[in-house]
Amino acid sequence: MAKNIMIQGTMSNAGKSLLTAGLLRVFAQDGYRVAPFKSQNMALNSYITAEGLEMGRAQVVQAEAAGIEPSVRMNPILLKPVSDVGSQVIVCGEVRGNMPAAEYFRYKQKLVPVIMEAYRELEKDRDIIVIEGAGSPAEINLKTHDIVNMGLAKMVDAPVLLAGDIDRGGVFAQLYGTVELLEPQERERVKGLIINKFRGDRGILEPGIAMLEEKCRLPVVGVMPWISVDIEDEDSLTERFYRKGTAGEVKAAVIRLPHISNFTDFNPLETVEGLEVVYVSSVKELGEPDLILLPGTKNTMGDLRWLRQSGLETAVLKCAAKGVPVFGICGGYQMLGESLCDPCGVEYGGQMQGMGLLPVQTVFEEQKVRTRVHGTVSGLTGFYQGLSGSSFTGYEIHMGTSRTIGAAASGTGGSGSDKCGREFGQVSDFSRIRLAVSGSGAGPVKADGCVCRNAAGTYVHGIFENNEFTNRFLRLIYRRKGLSFEDSRHMDIEEYKRRQYDQLADAVRENLNINEIYRMVGI
């Protein structure tokens, strides 16, 4: 049986995910076999495991910090919002369907056996499991049949560290108020408090810390400073959308769609020296970019309608007409096509005209595509010709099938076009390739995406995490502006992540009482 500890917060964005990742990194550095666990995550940023199952990216990041392969056992329930009052419910990596919030609230208690089975399987080969809560344990309207905060802590008998966000102000009231609103048996589980995201002289805090410890009868196990580490954060609360960095030689504009998902696809570009990556939601913010990126979305048709109403579609088309490269991933790729058809009512039903930059038709289907892929870009001409020959790995998560107009009816992408469409690359399904290794043949190959003049699209998430592909891509963008691009500007993404996780672990060791936390864990 693994030992455990749980990080809960006084509110959303109190820093639970980052603290969890930091503790996992510290424990792993100290030689322990560790794993993250979050029973229920609500996020639009998701990931496909090696088994072809879907989970939240926050636990993927924590698995990376722990140095292990992500597994849906780390996040057995994922809720992907499809509206203000409803979500797609994913259980153990498989879609269970869409549910209004009230229906899910009644249904979730049935998922307790699923949660416990995932946890028990996970702890079989682990020494320590670091568990992340959600929101606040003092949301008294949601405490009935809780499965993610104190309810889960009770189920797995976990000690709790409670974190508060001082950057938003009122951290003492946050922590004291949360503790006071807990039931006596819940309060007993809280073993320590953490003040998170502090900027300034810690000495100024000491009188407040002393009073907080006296009133709560709990130790403050550390004050975590605001640290500049580049690690993925919760998608709905990310500050990336609001960052105003210094202007670079080249400006890449990511369209900030209302239901944007997997915007982490563009994180690797933010590591490039001289490349300014901005998230825009208005024509004024778009300005005159050197590259336009259309991200994934949980609601392609609805977000395309917003793009149209906001004037951004017209602005993007004007940029494209001037030769500005436009690149779409997943839902962004679907928008760039000629039409979107939803005969089964997966999104809004009916049919919509696309942006018309790619000769592609998308039909939404009830079956979700979930797969890991790898392949090689081939057969491109024109602006994107320099990408031909680059290899890549990634994953697909989408509800639609896209075919180039005039292509064969079978397969994603197709093999021909009656316009200027060309397949983006030859993609091999990872799971099928793996099966083919022990059998015969090289495995089935399909075409993915489409390229037409300066517009391109693909279903492959994570494509910019491939160094060869990204360096070639950036050379094209820089060359168009009359600039040269050296590969040294773009750091190896895996090495970059390792450095960030190690910096986080250093900060955790320096600012939290690790010996006291080990005592709480029982080690």
- Residue 254 bridge partners (DSSP): 279, 293
358 with 429: CB under 8 angstroms?
no
The residue to which tokens 């570009």 are assigned: 269
Distances (CA, A) of 514 to 8, 208, 457: 17, 22, 47
d(CA 305, CA 284): 19
Q: What is the distance between the alpha carbons of residues 327 and 305, in angstroms, rounded to a whole number?
A: 19
Half-sphere exposure of 446 (CA within 13 A, CB side): 22
- What residues does 162 pair with on adjacent strands? 8, 193
State how far the alpha carbon of 102 is from the alpha carbons of 54, 108, 114, 120, in Å: 24, 10, 20, 29
Report the 10 Å Cβ neighbour count for 122: 19
Report the distance separating Cα 45 and Cα 235, nearest Å.
Answer: 6
C-alpha to C-alpha distance for 200 and 203, rounded to whole angstroms: 9
Query: Which residues are the active-site residues?
Result: 330, 461
Can you give 402-440 as a three-state secondary structure string? EEECCCCCCCCECCCCCCCCECCEEEEEHHHHHHHHCCC
256: phi then psi, degrees, rounded to nearest 5: -85, 90
